[in-house]
Chains A and B, each alone.
Chain A
Amino acid sequence: MSTKAVILVGGDTRGTRFRPISLSVPKVLFPAGEKSLLAHAVDAVIAQPNISEILLIGFYENSVFDNFLAQVNREHPDVSVKYLREYKAMGTAGGLYHFRDQILRGKPKRLFVINADVCSSYPLSELTAKYDESEANGVILGTRVAKGIAANYGAIIADDNGKVLHYVEKPEESVSTLVNGGIYLLDVSVFDVIAQAKRVHGDEHAGNLDDEDDDEDKLSLEQDVLPVLADTGKLFVYQTEAFWRQVKEAHSALVANLLYLEDSGAKNAVWVDPSAKIDPSAKLGPNVTICEGAKVGPGARIRDAVILPRAEIRANAVVINAIVCSGSRIGRWARVEGSPISVSSYESTVVKDGVKVPRVAIVAHDVAVADEVHLQNSVVLPHKDIRNDVRNEIVM
């Protein structure tokens, strides 16, 4: 059965919680182990049988994905992978609807729809098996989360066979700890439901000329489409027991890094790109990714950190619970540190001396941290020179 995949990649006028990292690299291209979040998703799709095409939909400029697409097309010449740019943010279903002709070209029977800002084992074969055995017209990847945070996600109420009885996006109070993992396999008839939602939405919009924020092209898969699908009795959930995490801000990116590294079986949960230069006397890990062209000097210590391309960690520097973006330099004996990373925590800030401060230390693109400087629970925007110690601060 011919299947296509649509991967939603977002855009730079949203996802502001990933700043300042996203000022130089889109969130979905952030590395987690050997490859980016997006590459984890794309590779999982390509590993499935009968995939005819993968379409990335988002509202970044075209050039943002040029390198990524060139690499995927080189490695997988048999699968067509393209980027389709929305001219504005249209919501999770708005983009699908806008590009429906392109998606339906070649008459695929069903679609994987994937939000690329998650970290997951991508159990797509299991999703497909559930679809087939249930004679479904849609399967959602479901995952269990703690009751305290469940209300931040789409809540799924299902029977013992996994048939979705009710779906509600971000309910005011938690109604289920089984939540939407942002990964779907859907029959192409979903476009009929989207078209219907579009009509309803258009009518509401017509009656409400006053509200400038209401955009008639904006449609949400979670709010406008899934509840309708649930009512058909043909929407099912596949509940994964494997790892899953939404990547929102820096802390969750470090957690994603850890989950992918542990899953890959990397020794000591460390991934070093072959082109990176690591002095043998430096100590790395656990939970460390070092990207292409990065350098780590003698006696440096790196733990719970991601070092992006061409960044340099000089001799005897310490980088812990931190992200160092591309081209940045951390001086000798400098110390860049945040508060501990925790898979079970969802807080992007910690309280220190009675105030909320950033949990992860972030050194954005092309920043120089001078020798011996201590940068603690702080965030530095691109192109800055840091010559003095910084604590609990955002440096603009």
Chain B
Amino acid sequence: MKGLILVGGYGTRLRPLTLTKPKPLVEFGNRPMILHQIEALAEAGVTDIVLAVNYRPEDMVDTLQKYEKEYGVNITFSVETEPLGTAGPLKLAEKVLAKDPSPFFVLNSDVICNYPFKEMIEFHNAHGGEGTIVATKVEDPSKYGVIVHHPGTTKIDRFVEKPVTFVGNRINAGIYILNPSVIDLIELRPTSIEKETFPALAKKGTLHSFDLEGYWMDVGQPKDFLAGTGLYLNSLGVRNPEMLVPKDASYLHSGHVLVHPTAKISPSAKLGPNVVVGPGVEIGDGARISRSVIMSNAVVKPHAHVKQTIVGWNSRIGRWARTENVTVLGDDVEIQDEIYVNGGRVLPHKSIGSNVEKPEIIM
């Protein structure tokens, strides 16, 4: 089988992290974001994976060559020379996606969930249509494109953009399985799969939706990245609790905490809920960390308080410092002792020596 991952551009919404690493390689739950998807596709029997990108960073090429061997898949890059929207990349990758009549997966690289690829194949084959969209339920459908079904079926009738009256609460989760025939509907120009291709398929009556179990999140920006981390850890707690810090660990405060085995954590520190600690990280005595991600080789010094913060690689948080409110530190940033940072986005290699009192970009 085949799969297309829509990676897109420079991931500017996830800056300052993506000033240092291409977005697909930024670690989510201590593993590169794209690895979650490659692994799930490989497990479902996918052997050919195409990454649709606007540019091709060399470090990404090197890393993915490693994964090709590890997971026994072929990974190719499909590079857009001009932005083609969400449907154009399918046309551009036609050679791989339509090389045989079997259906192919399409997923947005920012979306995390328990990818239900095997179940999707069964469902797709059973209904016999041209396409299947994964649908997720949301509390406030008025912000999204809502799916409306033919009554009593999984067949999609139409989509309603940002509905003002209630028409349903299922939205497109950004994951699909499609027959190669769908590519024939797409022209090689900037095209939206959501606004052009899918409505056309719905009209033909060959598009179905599949309900996603469990969590779903677009983690393309820092606030959602942190929220998504919480959902992911929650899911690990159900499916692989042995991967999380045991309940009796001296430094566990509450909730789910994922710690890389090479991290060094003081027994008097308190972590949780929803904390990920990366490789080589050091956390000092009496430090407090909640709802945060600490990337590899960062240091949280004694008595620091790190709350709702992404601490970038090799960064250092000083003694009695406090960071909160979706603060994001790029690579090799220093927060000096006793400093307070409220919602700061700090670019790489900066040293912060005075308080950041309100959300601000520190260039």
A-B interface pairs (CB < 8 A), number: 29
Interface membership of A383, Cβ < 8 A: yes
Return A185 CB to nearest CB of chain B, in Å. 32
The reply to whether the CB of A382 lies closer than 8 angstroms to some CB of chain B is yes
Select one of B12, B348, B350 contacting A381, CB under 8 A. Answer: B12
Interchain CB contact under 8 A, B349 and A382:
no
Report the bound CA distance from A379 to B15 in whole Å: 15
Instruction: Please name the residue on chain A nearest to B13 by beta carbon.
Output: A396
Is B227 an interface position by the 8 A CB rule? Answer: no
Q: Which stretch from A12-20, A47-55, A157-165 is at the chain B interface?
A: A12-20
Whose C-beta in chain B lies nearest to the C-beta of A393? Answer: B361
A234 close to B (CB within 8 Å): no
Q: Closest CB-CB distance, B195 to chain A, in whole Å?
A: 18
Give A288 Cβ to nearest chain B Cβ, in Å. 25
Q: Mark A108-124, 1 if CB is under 8 A from B, else 0.
A: 00000000000000000
Interface SS majority for chain A? loop
Chain A hits for B10, CB < 8 A: 382-383
Question: Are A14 and B349 interface neighbours, CB within 8 A?
Answer: yes
Cα-based distance from A384 to B332 in the complex (angstroms)? 24
B163 sits at the interface (CB 8 A): no
Complex contact B12–A384 (CB within 8 A): yes
Task: Report B82 CB to chain A, min CB distance, Å.
Answer: 12
Choice from B9, B19, B345 contacting A23 with Cβ under 8 Å = B19
What 0/1 readout, one digit per residue, does chain B (1-30) give for beta carbons within 8 Å of chain A?
000000001101001100100000000000
In B331-363, the 8 Å CB interface with A consists of 332, 345, 347-350, 361, 363
Within 8 Å of chain B (Cβ to Cβ): is A394? yes
Contact A13 B349 (CB under 8 A): yes
Cα separation A394 to B344 with both chains bound (whole Å) = 12
Contact of B363 among A14, A20, A384 (CB under 8 A): A20
Question: How far apart are B85's CB and chain A's nearest CB, in angstroms?
Answer: 13
In Å, the complex CA distance between A292 and B60 comes to 31
Q: How far is the CA of A394 from the CA of B348 in the complex (A)?
A: 16
Q: A381-B12, A384-B12 are contacts. A19–B332 as well, Cβ < 8 Å? A: no
CB-CB nearest in chain B for A18: B363
CB 8 Å contact bits of A358-396 with B (1 = contact, 0 = none): 000000000000000000000101111000000000101
Interchain CB contact under 8 A, A16 and B332: no
Q: Is the interface of B mostly helix, strand, loop or mixed?
A: loop
**Residue of B12, B348, B349 touching A396 (CB-CB under 8 A):** B12
Residues of A within 8 A of B348 (CB): 13
Residues of B within 8 A of A20 (CB): 363
Nearest A residue to B328 via CB reads A396
In angstroms, Cα B349 to Cα A394, docked, is 18
Q: Contact check, A396 vs B332: say whether CB atoms are below 8 A apart.
A: no
Q: In the assembled complex, how far is the CB of residue A279 from the closest CB belonging to chain B, in whole angstroms? A: 25
Closest B residue to A366 using CB positions: B10
A16-B12 contact, Cβ under 8 Å, with A23-B19, A379-B363, A394-B361: no
Q: Are B349 and A16 in contact (CB under 8 A)?
A: yes
Tell me, rounded to whole Å, the shortest Cβ–Cβ distance linking A151 to chain B: 18
Cα A187 to Cα B196 in complex, Å, equals 73
Q: Is the CB of A396 within 8 A of B350?
A: no
Q: Which residue of B lies closest to A20 (CB)?
A: B363
Say which residue of A13, A16, A396 sits within 8 Å of B15 (CB atoms): A396
Are the CB atoms of B332 and A13 closer together than 8 Å?
yes
Residues of B within 8 A of A (CB): 9-10, 12, 15-16, 19, 332, 345, 347-350, 361, 363
| Residues of chain A whose beta carbon lies under 8 Å from any beta carbon of chain B | 12-14, 16, 19-20, 23, 379, 381-384, 394, 396
The 3 closest A-B pairs by CB, nearest first: A383-B10, A394-B361, A13-B349
Please name 8 pairs of A and B residues whose Cβ atoms are closer than 8 Å in the assembled complex, sorted by A. Answer: A20-B363, A23-B19, A379-B363, A381-B19, A383-B10, A383-B12, A384-B12, A396-B345
- Further 4 A-B residue pairs, CB within 8 A, beyond A16-B350, A16-B363, A396-B12: A12-B349, A16-B349, A381-B12, A381-B19
